[in-house]
Amino acid sequence: MSGQTTPNSDKSDGIQQEINALERFVTDSLSSKRDESQRQLILFIKRTLLQFKLDQEYSPASILGEAYFRAIRQVRGLKFSSITHYSH
């Protein structure tokens, strides 16, 4: 049965593609390859940290990194939930 896909493998492939896209976005946002939306995101994080006087405690990179890890955990959690849902 090689070459055939199942609904769960298709979903898993889609989830992995989303994770890869998120990883590229975060990596590019933290590098010099930023596009306009990534630059705006970093500026928003900086402005928010300044607004709440947290700029001495946190960096935009640490905030973006934490958001990335939370998103990955959520995506993987949804993957598990979806598989559980389909098994009923």
pLDDT (tens digit, 9 = 90+) per residue, 49-70? 999 999 999 999 999 999 998 8
Structural tokens at position 34: 């930023």
pTM over 0.75: no
Q: What is the full DSSP assignment across 64-80?
A: HHHHHHHHHHHHHHHHH
Please tell me the distance from the alpha carbon of residue 59 to that of residue 45, in angstroms, as a whole number. Answer: 8
When pLDDT is cut at 50, 70 and 90, the band that residue 43 belongs to is very high
CA angle 26, 23, 18 (to 5 degrees): 125
Contact at 8 Å (CB) between 75 and 18? yes
Domain containing 53 equals: 16-86
- Does position 6 have pLDDT exceeding 70, yes or no? no
**Domain contains 27:** yes
**Domain contains 33:** yes
Task: Count the domains in the chain.
Answer: 1
